[in-house]
Amino acid sequence: MTTSSQPVPRRAQRMLVPYQGALLFTIGLIAKGVEYFYNNTAFSRILVVAVPSATNAYLRLPARGQRIDVKFSPRSDIAMPRTAYFISDGTGITAETLGRSLLAQFEGVELNLVVKPYIDTLEKAHTLAAIIAQTAERDGARPIVIDTIVDQAIRTIIADAPGFKVDIFSTFLAPLEEELATHSTYTVGRTHAIGRDDVYMHRIDAVHFALDNDDGARTHQYDQADVILVGVSRCGKTPTSLYLALQFGIRAANYPLTEDDLDEDGMLSMPKALAPHRHKLFALTIDPRRLAAIRSERRPNSRYCSMDQCMQELQQAEALFRRYHIPYIDTTRFSIEEISTRMIAETNLTRRFSPR
C-alpha cells in the first residue's frame, strides 16, 4: 500500500484556514482559563507567566515545529493566614473585644483568632510562649499577640516569644497614671469581676425578666418592662432582649405577632396585652428572603417558611407599626449589638450600667 505525496490543492488549503483559526482561538481560550485558575485560586501556589493570549494565538501563528513554552514560577503574592492571640490572666474578654475591634479594620487579611484566658502562672506562660514560637515557624510570620496581662513576670515571658506584641495595659495605663497623678492597682480581673453587688444583681434580674417574658409568655408583667419588642416570629426579638438585659441591665420583654392577632378584615390589630403599654413598644422587621431562610432552618418545607407567608406577615406587621406610630428597625443587616444601641438611642432608654 502506497501513500500519496501529492500536495493539498490550494483551494482545499483556503477552506481549512478558518477551521485552523477557530481551533487555535479555542486553544488560546483554554490556555487563558488554565492561567486564570492557577493564578486566582487558593489551591495552587504556581504562577503561570508565559501563556499567550487567545488573540495572540490567533494572529501570530508559530512556525512549523516551534513550541510554545509555558513557564512556571513559585507564587509570591498569596498571603498566608496570620494568627492572632488574645491573652489574659483573667477572662480574656477585654483583650478579645479590643483586639477584634482593631483587627476588624484589616478586611483583606485572613486571620486565625485564638483566645487564651487565665494565663496566670509561670508554667502556663512558658507553655504558651512555646506555642507562639511553633505558630511563628508554621505560619512563616510572627503571630500578633494582644494581651491584658497584669503580672510583670508573666508579661516578660510572653514578651520574649516571637510575636508582634500589643500590650493594652502598658500602652494606656502609664499615660493615665501620669494624668491622674496616681498609680494603677494592676489588679487581675477587675473589669469582669462581680464588683458592686447592685450592678451584678441588676444584670441577673434583667436576664431573668427577659427569659420569663420571652415570646409573650407572661404579659401581666409588662408594667415592669423598660421596653417591649414586637415583631413576627424569628425576626430577632429574643436575642435582642437577652443582649439588652446582659449588657445594659434593661428589662426587655418581647411579643410575637401571629395570625391570632388578625381582625375580621384580615388586618393585624393591636393585641389587647400591648394596648396599655403602647409607649413601651419598639418593633423589629426583617427582609422576607432572610426571614424565609431563618425559618427554613427551624421548619423546612413548611407554610411557615414559605416566601408568600413571610411577605404577608411582614406587610401586615409593618402596616400595624405605621398605623400606631410604633418605631421600628430593619434587622436584616444589623448585628444584635447595633440593633440594641440604635434602639436605645432612638427611645432614650436608661442604661442601668454600661457593657463590660
Has this prediction a pTM greater than 0.85?
no
- Measured torsion, CA atoms of residues 240, 200, 221, 273, in degrees rounded to the nearest 10: -20
> Residue 296 in contact with residue 271, Cβ under 8 Å?
no
Sign of the Cα torsion 84, 114, 242, 204 reads negative
Q: Are 273 and 258 in contact (CB under 8 A)?
A: no
Helix (H, G, I), strand (E, B) or coil at 250: coil
Helices 152-160 and 122-139: crossing angle in degrees, nearest 10, is 20
Say how far apart CA 286 and CA 82 lie, in whole Å. 36
Are 224 and 277 in contact by the 8 Å Cβ rule? The answer is no
Backbone angles phi, psi at 43, to 5 degrees: -85, -10
Least confident of 189-198, 236-245, 289-298: 189-198
Which tens digits make up the pLDDT trace of 135-150? 999 999 999 999 999 8
Mean pLDDT of the chain: 81
Strands 72-74 and 46-48: antiparallel
Which tens digits make up the pLDDT trace of 78-125?
567 899 999 999 888 889 989 999 999 998 899 999 999 999 999 999
d(CA 214, CA 209): 8
What percent of the chain is modeled with pLDDT above 90? Answer: 56
What confidence category does residue 222 fall into, taking pLDDT thresholds of 50, 70 and 90? Answer: very high
Q: Which residue type does 156 have? A: T
d(CA 181, CA 52): 70
Q: Tell the residue number behind the cell numbers 494592676, with chain if given.
A: 186
The predicted pLDDT at position 57 comes to 37
CA distances, 76 to each of 37, 46, 334 (Å): 16, 9, 37
